[in-house]
Amino acid sequence: MIERNFCDFTTIRSSVESEPKEAKFLEINEYTSLIECVGQNIRYHSYVIIYLIAGTDIHFAEALGLTWNDISSENKIIDVNKIYNYNTTFDFAPTKNTSSVHKIPIYDHTVKLMKDYKEKCWIENNQNRVYASD
């Protein structure tokens, strides 16, 4: 039986330098260009999810968990109340905690974009998910 942790006081070093933290994020002009591009053109399924995530700060799993019942065009609100587990169960799951359940106000342009997306690009599915590929 090993009685002490022989890894105590060790340091892991790599010969590969890590990227600077700044390289992991978009510059403001890159972010603006991305929003403009995806917000004006919904010909790709991914454009709408990128626009929604960038414009509302919703998490990816929360966006995948949205159903059309969670989006109120009249009140301009998205109700985030679940996630979609895309790693293991491929089904809805509760959010990590109760504070993750929240309502997000959306702009008129987002409402229009979502309506256009539903009419032109949405893939109908048995769970009524906004973003699904089945």
Rounded CA-CA distance 54/28 in Å is 12
> Of 108, 117, 105, whose CA–CA distance to 41 is shortest?
117
Q: Write down the pLDDT at residue 134.
A: 57
Q: What is the pLDDT of residues 14-28, one digit of tens each?
A: 777 777 766 778 888
The separation between the first and the last C-alpha atoms of the chain, rounded to the nearest angstrom, is 51
Contacts of 126 by beta carbon, 8 Å cutoff, 6+ apart: 134
Q: What is the pLDDT of residues 87-121, one digit of tens each?
A: 999 999 999 999 999 999 999 999 999 999 999 88
Give the pLDDT mean for 37-47: 78
Q: Write down the pLDDT at residue 133.
A: 76
Q: What percentage of the chain carries pLDDT values higher than 90? A: 55
Residue 63 in tokens: 């966006």
Dihedral sign computed on CA atoms, order 33, 36, 41, 44? positive
